[in-house]
Amino acid sequence: MTKDEANFLRHGVAKLLALHRDGLTPEVALTEIALFIDSHDEKPINMIIFCPNPLCNSQHIDRVTEDWSNPAHRSHKCEFCGCIFRFADTATNGVAKIETIGKNDNWSIDGDRRI
């Protein structure tokens, strides 16, 4: 269990004990706990990610494999050079391309230019 997971569980238990102490019904307590869990659930941000190693610079795409279920994560390991890196202080997911294009964007990963 990671430190973040332990802290998350510790806060959840403290919240449950506080609700019980205040005399709330189990239904109210469970609703409060579910809301707490939802608000602290780290959902990864889909990003186009490239290895920061200047000798590699390969695109990093996270995928489910036999050995990896692709859970939410912050650090990434380049499958080509082995560099381990982190681009954000939140969970990110390396994707082949993102779903949106901004009206002022003039570059995209698949070469569609809108200049």
Judge whether 97 and 110 are in contact, CB under 8 Å.
yes
Instruction: Report in angstroms the alpha-carbon separations of 50 from 17, 32, 77, 78.
Output: 45, 40, 11, 9
State what percent of residues in the chain have pLDDT above 70: 80
Other CB atoms within 10 A of residue 56 CB: 14
Q: Is 73 left (phi over 0), alpha (psi -120 to 50) or beta?
A: beta
Where are the domains positioned within the chain?
A: 3-40, 43-115
pLDDT band at 31 (very low <50, low <70, confident <90, very high): confident
For 114, the 3-state DSSP assignment is coil
Is this model's pTM higher than 0.95 or not? Answer: no
Q: What is the pLDDT of residues 61-77, one digit of tens each?
A: 999 989 888 888 899 99
